[in-house]
Amino acid sequence: MQKITREILIDKAAFLLSTGVVGSVFGWRAGEFDYDVTPALFTDKTDLKNNFVFGDFCGANVSKYLIKATKNAEEKILVFLKPCDTYSFNQLLTEHRFNREKVYVVGIPCEGMADVRKIKEKAGEGILKISSTEDGVIVDTLYNGTISLKKEDILLERCKNCKSKKHVAYDELIGEDGTVLENDRFDEVAALEAMSPEERFNFWQNELSRCIRCNACRDVCPACTCEKCVFDNPESGVENKAAYNSFEEKMFHIIRAFHVAGRCTDCGECSRVCPQHIPLHLLNRKFIKDINQFYGEYQAGEEVGSRAPLVNYTKEDIEPNDAVNKGDK
């Protein structure tokens, strides 16, 4: 699937390290299994050579990690960003979360990342090795032999509706830059909007009641970078670790969606990491759809310093009652 190999990236990183442009590298570290990849900071060349990976399981958006990484770094950090990561990167810069001067961005193309859950569903347990092919993967399994799977069957949900192959931030690019893509990512939201309030309530009740409050969605979200999250702050009045009924889980996700409204770039990390498979991105996408409808098309992170419609007042802004009326339709 990925056209670009880990060797190209390692060569690039080694070159930038040896020429002193950067002092460390942020990328993805290999795990025990092929699909078990973790975002990581590499400071050592050997470590980089042995453990740096790039492939179909590098879905993780690494831009958020730069906040912590840049805090302690003396020298510049090299970071490899996929197109969708660059939107989060810009949004973080807009919010002054780290210093752009401390980062060297190499934009890398992305062919869409694989969802290991889907592979496991099709190939079963006992996956030994997953190798990338032109239009899919070949899976060696312990029990079911070798299985070949098609790209469209194993793509991450969010990659099926990829919004852009264009890098909106980089110092250097590997390969050709892509373009912003036509997509129908709002179709799912429209389907929810078409439901009756009762159906919609039941839908979310069913989804959100599975939440175990592991906070993974919040921890991975590039828009959730508060010094102290309201959910960790006993003073905030909304913090609670042990929810006493499933309604409180709803509130957690709804409050979080409000907090990131206008700042969410729709990177889809929340849904990717949710161990309970809750389609959390739909909440954020509903906000994005409404913002687009009420205030004109807006893509968070498209440029640094852009004023999100929700925190920017213009005389042309929709009147609140018009927004409510439009919402009813």
Partner 1 sequence: MQRIGVFVCWCGSNIAATVDVEAVSQALAKEPGVVHSANYQYMCSQAGQDLIRAAIKEHKLTGIVVCSCSPRMHEMTFRKTAESAGINPYMVEIANIREQCSWIHKDILTGTEKAIVLGRTAIAKVNLNAPLTAGESPVTKRALVIGGGIAGIQTALDIADAGFEVDIVEKNPTIGGKMAQLDKTFPTLDCAACILTPKMVDVAQHEKIRIFSYSEVAAVKGFVGNFDVTIKKKARYVREDVCTGCGLCTEKCPVKKVPNEFNLGMDTRRAIYIPFAQAVPKVATIDADYCNMLKNGKCGVCSKVCTAKAIDYEQKDTLIEEKYGAIVVATGFNPISMEKFDEYAYSQSKDVVTSLEFERIMNAAGPTQGKLVRPSDGKHPHTLVFVQCVGSRCANCAEKGKEYCSKICCMYTAKHAMLTRDKYPDTDVYVFYIDVRTPGKNFDEFYRRAAEEYGVHYVKGMVGKVMPEGDKLMVRASDLIANKQINIAADMVILAAAIEPDKSARSIATMLTASMDTNDFFTEAHPKLRPVESPTAGIFLSGACQGPKDIPETVAQAGAAAAKVIGLLAKDKLKGNPCVASSNELMCNGCSSCERVCPYGAISYVDKEFRGPNRTVLVRRVAQVNPAVCQGCGACTVACPSGAMDLKGFATKQIMAEVDAICK
Binding site for partner 1 (CB under 8 A): 71, 94-97, 225-230, 233, 235-237, 259-260, 263, 307-308, 310-313, 315
Residue with Cβ nearer partner 1 (100 or 122): 100
CB-CB contact of 107 with 172 (8 Å) = yes
For residue 125, CA distances in Å to 15, 30, 31, 117, 144 come to: 40, 20, 18, 11, 9
Tell me the closest approach of the beta carbon of residue 45 to partner 1, in angstroms. Answer: 28
Q: Is the dihedral of CA 119, 122, 128, 130 positive or negative?
A: negative
* Axis-axis angle for helices 281-295, 320-328 (nearest 10): 120
Could you tell me where the beta strands, DSSP code E, fall in the chain?
24-29, 38-42, 52-53, 77-81, 103-107, 127-133, 136-141, 145-150, 172-173
Residue type at position 119:
I
Residue with Cβ nearer partner 1 (2 or 299): 299
Tell me the closest approach of the beta carbon of residue 308 to partner 1, in angstroms. Answer: 8
Tell me the closest approach of the beta carbon of residue 311 to partner 1, in angstroms. Answer: 4
Tell me the closest approach of the beta carbon of residue 298 to partner 1, in angstroms. Answer: 14
Residue with Cβ nearer partner 1 (167 or 259): 259
- DSSP letter assigned to residue 134: T
Residue with Cβ nearer partner 1 (113 or 291): 291
Residue with Cβ nearer partner 1 (125 or 235): 235
Tell me the closest approach of the beta carbon of residue 278 to partner 1, in angstroms. Answer: 21
Kindly provide the b/e burial profile for residues 227-249, where b requires at least 16 CB atoms within 10 angstroms of the residue's own CB. Answer: eebebeeeeeeeeeeeeeeeeeb
Quickly count: other Cβ atoms within 10 Å of residue 108's Cβ. Answer: 24
Residue with Cβ nearer partner 1 (138 or 230): 230
Tell me the closest approach of the beta carbon of residue 228 to partner 1, in angstroms. Answer: 5
Which two three-digit tokens encode residue 192?
């929810």
